[in-house]
Structure 1
């Protein structure tokens, strides 16, 4: 086939993800070329298990998985190629009480998302899957609409459907380079044997799977993923394996034994997600041998044997079955077990759909649809932050980092998904200037965007480690003490991991007034709490912006969204004379919060901190110890307090100066910050507010200044004001003081599920667990009766539209 010299989009990689992207772009009328280095499906797709589990961690990921299932069901009729799609149901079995709590929470979540789910007993398990031992089974969850498919058939059907819509799919073509000019994609250079050429294009989609990281790196794009060995075996046909009268057996998952089972034509496939995985192909510069095509890896029976022993005890007939195939093939995994989708922040026109962590078949149909809409419409169809490529950190491209981390992440797929679970491998890459000082004082660290952050502080003699649980973990009382210190006295936080973006230049004010919903033309020293909105009125960023001078501003954003926010700002600069710079590592941030914070800072050297000299929402230079700090009077905890911005090389001195005073403040971690902000009803980006959540429905209309003139999202705000709200973000307080909330618990209104909690924690001042969640607007949302379902148990809750703690905000302005 002769390759074209230009195309609107070029998709690189012919696995199921690439075929799905090509199919959906062609469906939307795009001119598309898909280039595959060898043959379609030859990387991972051909040996995938093909499990179609529709329940994912959140509503939108579940939406994508359900879309995949419906798409695959219709592809056979559309293309004439069989996808093997069949509904078998699935059964997840718990062997411990903790696992039972987890899967009950999953069942509750499934019902909230409209996915059929039933909690079943050990007796029911025996009926649904009569071959397994159930004496130690605590319970299970049955999802009757789950299923399985033929992965290669799905990919080939997508490819045929794409061709029917005009896409060109060419095998045996290697992409040698993505050409660029002035920071955007201009084309793709290719080779086919001795033949070479270039396809001019403004859109490239990296669906390179295991090869994706090396391909992206050649263009300066961060795509952290690494291949691991993945093991399974397939038996010979087992007589009577499918009971008489049944068409098939459900997909069986026993995560406490790291195993899954799939029946197909009377054979049994046993696969595993072992606790310590085996990274593969680390000796090759690109990670994967260039000649790899439909290859198997050497089978490591010693590695798989512990799984097989457990499986034979669980299913005795397995010990008697003949083994047809021992298989080992590579799959790519990411540092956080979430795949990558969307526009790469480094290079305009460079798109990604890769790193599917062994759920590529169930994900790719929906991912291809969502990415095609994103490319065509200029924005994602709904909130996709969970898998957005902009969360990836540049250092994560390191082969040594990835090799260490993916030994863990493969196993985490079947590990207990504890709240607050922290990765154990490849830690310590990013540390604040205060890390060692806080570690000496008992800090227990968690990881966010590679940063080590003090989450809580251990007492003398207490183990500095998490003891995970679904209820009150071992640090619950530590956080309670830190929380109360901030409410009643004073606490000190290391907030240095806040993202800090400097916006400066002649047009800085005009630019920020266009991209922010608040009024940015304020006096130097003023701090503005605002949002950056999209054209739908959804929240792209939740931030504070401090005007430093006539031409310079400092935006403070969440630690994990810096790359996203930098990309958004740079995308909208246009012709403005503005420079946008990430200065996160240049300044440390030490926050002193609580009713005694003014006294603490005075004792450490600050002069006049009165309301008259330093009112709420302003920043000014103060003395602290022997140096100077820029003190921002703001609060994310609902108390009087200041954030001190100092050069990183001064941070240790400032900490020592504050902690040396008589009655020094308590050291406080990020877990307490979360419980404090939830009592106050403060929103958290990525949970309570996303690009899908309208700023008015999120209750943040007070920060939007429509009278200042035009800005991105203004029309959507005015339109929603006229049309009325469809839902409201509400704060909930449980009536029972015992349970804890994390997030994703189901909200029931008058007995019916209506939503899930977007955030949850324990309100140590309010005396019970507190959470936030959206409910339908019905004229008087507070007149309804609310309950929160926690692992199947319903707990009555009080709802409020005003903060349950200090609703007037008087304490912050004291």
Structure 2
């Protein structure tokens, strides 16, 4: 029986590569009082059978940053710990068999270059030279990363564990955590069992690194960790004579990867329709177990593999392996503190990329825990993006059937999940569907993204170029600019904050001044101590003691967690009222004419100026009309009780024909907002973007008194900005921008496009992005020559510090 301490600063649950990495990185930050408990043996479960591919190419800058950190760490780890990691920087090649895939991997190469990853595009001839065993028929392009590699996953975990032990961590095998204790909403410790022995460890924090057990472990404490195991297949050949060191090869169009190891070849698959596993739980003694073979399931991959690597046809099969790995509903892993329980952290759900992810993820989580703030924007993998309903097991089983295959699917812009849909619907859903709505999903909400015309198939035809809805968006966009459009934005997150201390509480958290008369609407941000943006929202003062907060649907759980985290002793009640009201956004220069047809209230500037709301009658119902806009036009957000929403929609639609009313989707909302240079949280503004550098200083009122982030704002004002947000328009009207394209200033990559869409009124693709400006005037910044690199090609761009569309905001105040 290992001797376990009665107290620890941190208890880590799970001894796979993730738990070992968190322990290693916490101890590197000086945490010596760290205990890692593993129910069986280190690396059991998933780590031991992982393929061990180390690929730095990822879809975004920060995920590339984390993967690059892992690769760099694993190269140095053996020298530090003396444990052989098997890390070999053999490089990697990803080949494309279609022009669409070629465009995608070239775009990813651009992101990698923007973050200093060594990468280059190569021709099919060069691929053949580097990988002579490959049948290059159909190969149209490829990318090569010379510093990618492969490793021994179990030894990587063991090396991390040894590094953690060397700095004081206690790592104990054969100990199962049976409970996580809490008091007053905070973790206090764990109970454990080892055979007949039982005990407890008091702890300041607990970190769930339990892999495919993480959901059940979280549920014990009321913490939502939506993930589900799937079967993952690969085979290893007998030794092949003459087979020498080769780069890792990925052929995503055939769902396959190849790795040479000790003269043998591994062929692994991410098949389009996966096999979920463990629906009834995972048996207690599961450890270094394999799942039953299923060659029929693997056969289509093998058939393509034999064609792609002809020598496989005569190679004997040494091992056909099937093992479980955990997958999440959106194919991204989980980091961060649980919104339900303070002090409960997690690093889990790695979607079959746990080895390459865990080095960077462990570093990022350790810094986050140590500093109390994420070291950089981690919203992509933040546990607070999950929704309560996603713990439903039927939902998870259906969704992960798809997400495993998405690892190697085409990652087209606007691609929608096909499985487990229709979970959260607006009261207007059937109305919109009958009128041609094509829906997308965000946070489980079904939202109309665009409207098909009569006779047009109401579904996506995906591409990296102009998709089948481009003209639909143009017509919707121009209707909003010239007439009037109607959006269903019921998915907005809606929060009531009320009570005696409501004003003081929100004044402490928000950067703008909320001490305004009832009826006023204030646009503001909630900041962290570094001046980074934690939330982007509007706050409506309903009364002396009641406020109504509107946040993006995708960030609702994050925003609720942030509010509750800072509640302290304030006499305040925070209530999620999202489902109580639908939101109909009536936007465009004719919106006042239309709303006056269906409501007897006064919508004049004198009675209802921009930034105010009023209670109104509409049709035969009631609503609150908020005079705000996210599209840059005159308009109202109408907050209607859910049971009256369909009636109000019908009344507006019936009166709208004479004004050219057009139903509009989220793609149009986005294209309009980007013309107006309105920021989008999660892309243009994040918790690592300073509010002043984001160009949002107008919404910060330091004179109101102290608030979270105020000191950072004052320091930045004194020191000057090091970068600033710009808006860009491509001078060539043909290319498209989405996000993550490289921003080039005077011939040098200086950043990435944070968000992009097509500006139909401005006549070109519009992007947002940060440009360096330390010691420079506005004139200096704008005097530079700007280009945007898209899949290896550079296009000239016009830059502006002010909105290119309606820079004086005259249209919103018509």
TM-score, scaled relative to structure 1? 0.98
Match in the other structure for 2:232: 230
**How far apart are the structure 1 equivalents of 2:485 and 2:600?**
17
Q: Residues 438 and 449 of structure 2 are in contact (CA less than 8 Å); yes or no, is this contact kept in structure 1?
A: yes
Q: CA deviation at 1:28?
A: 2.0
Match in the other structure for 2:168: 166
Match in the other structure for 1:259: 256
Match in the other structure for 1:465: 459
Q: CA deviation at 1:408?
A: 0.5
**How far apart are the structure 2 equivalents of 1:383 and 1:97?**
32
CA 1:696–1:553 in 2, change beyond 3 Å: closer, same or farther? same
Q: What CA deviation, in whole Å up to 9, does each residue of 1:611-659 have, x standing for no partner? A: 0000000011111001111100000000000001111111001001111
Q: What CA deviation, in whole Å up to 9, does each residue of 1:683-730 have, x standing for no partner? A: 000000000000000000000001111100011001001101010110
| Aligned counterpart in structure 2 of residue 575 of structure 1, from 563, 569, 572 | 569
Match in the other structure for 2:338: 344
Q: CA deviation at 1:752?
A: 1.2
**How far apart are the structure 2 equivalents of 1:742 and 1:513?**
35
Match in the other structure for 2:658: 663
- For residues 268-667 of structure 1, what are the structure 2 equivalents within 5 Å? 268-282=265-279, 284=280, 287-661=281-655, 662-663=657-658, 665-667=661-663
Q: CA deviation at 1:135?
A: 2.3
Q: CA deviation at 1:106?
A: 1.2
Q: What CA deviation, in whole Å up to 9, does each residue of 1:466-511 have, x standing for no partner? A: 0001111000011111101100000000011000111000011111
Q: CA deviation at 1:773?
A: 0.5
**How far apart are the structure 2 equivalents of 1:366 and 1:753?**
24
Match in the other structure for 1:21: 22
| Aligned counterpart in structure 1 of residue 672 of structure 2, from 661, 676, 680 | 676
Q: CA deviation at 1:29?
A: 2.5
**How far apart are the structure 2 equivalents of 1:407 and 1:499?**
29
Q: CA deviation at 1:202?
A: 2.1
**How far apart are the structure 1 equivalents of 2:372 and 2:590?**
49
SS at 2:48 equivalent? helix
- For residues 99-118 of structure 1, what are the structure 2 equivalents within 5 Å? 99-118=101-120
Q: What CA deviation, in whole Å up to 9, does each residue of 1:137-159 have, x standing for no partner? A: 10111111111111000101111
SS at 2:136 equivalent? coil
SS at 1:465 equivalent? coil
Q: CA deviation at 1:160?
A: 1.0
Match in the other structure for 1:245: none
Q: What CA deviation, in whole Å up to 9, does each residue of 1:752-774 have, x standing for no partner? A: 11111000000000011101011
SS at 1:549 equivalent? coil
Q: In the alignment, is residue 687 of structure 1 matched against residue 708 of structure 2?
A: no
SS at 1:416 equivalent? coil
Q: CA deviation at 1:606?
A: 3.7
Q: Residues 61 and 740 of structure 2 are in contact (CA less than 8 Å); yes or no, is this contact kept in structure 1?
A: no
SS at 1:663 equivalent? helix
- For residues 705-784 of structure 1, what are the structure 2 equivalents within 5 Å? 705-777=701-773, 778-779=776-777, 780-784=780-784
TM-score, scaled relative to structure 2? 0.98
CA RMSD, Structure 1 to Structure 2 (Å): 0.8
Instruction: Specify every segment of 5 or more residues in structure 2 that has no aligned partner in the other structure, as ranges.
Output: none
SS at 2:686 equivalent? coil
Q: CA deviation at 1:394?
A: 1.1
Q: Residues 73 and 359 of structure 2 are in contact (CA less than 8 Å); yes or no, is this contact kept in structure 1?
A: yes
Match in the other structure for 2:796: 796
Q: In the alignment, is residue 64 of structure 1 matched against residue 60 of structure 2?
A: no
**How far apart are the structure 2 equivalents of 1:812 and 1:178?**
52
Q: CA deviation at 1:580?
A: 0.9
Q: Residues 58 and 108 of structure 2 are in contact (CA less than 8 Å); yes or no, is this contact kept in structure 1?
A: no
Q: CA deviation at 1:607?
A: 2.3
Match in the other structure for 2:45: 43
| Aligned counterpart in structure 2 of residue 54 of structure 1, from 31, 53, 56 | 56
Q: What CA deviation, in whole Å up to 9, does each residue of 1:365-405 have, x standing for no partner? A: 11111111111111111111010000011111111111100
Q: What CA deviation, in whole Å up to 9, does each residue of 1:225-268 have, x standing for no partner? A: 110000001111111122xxxxx210000001000000111111
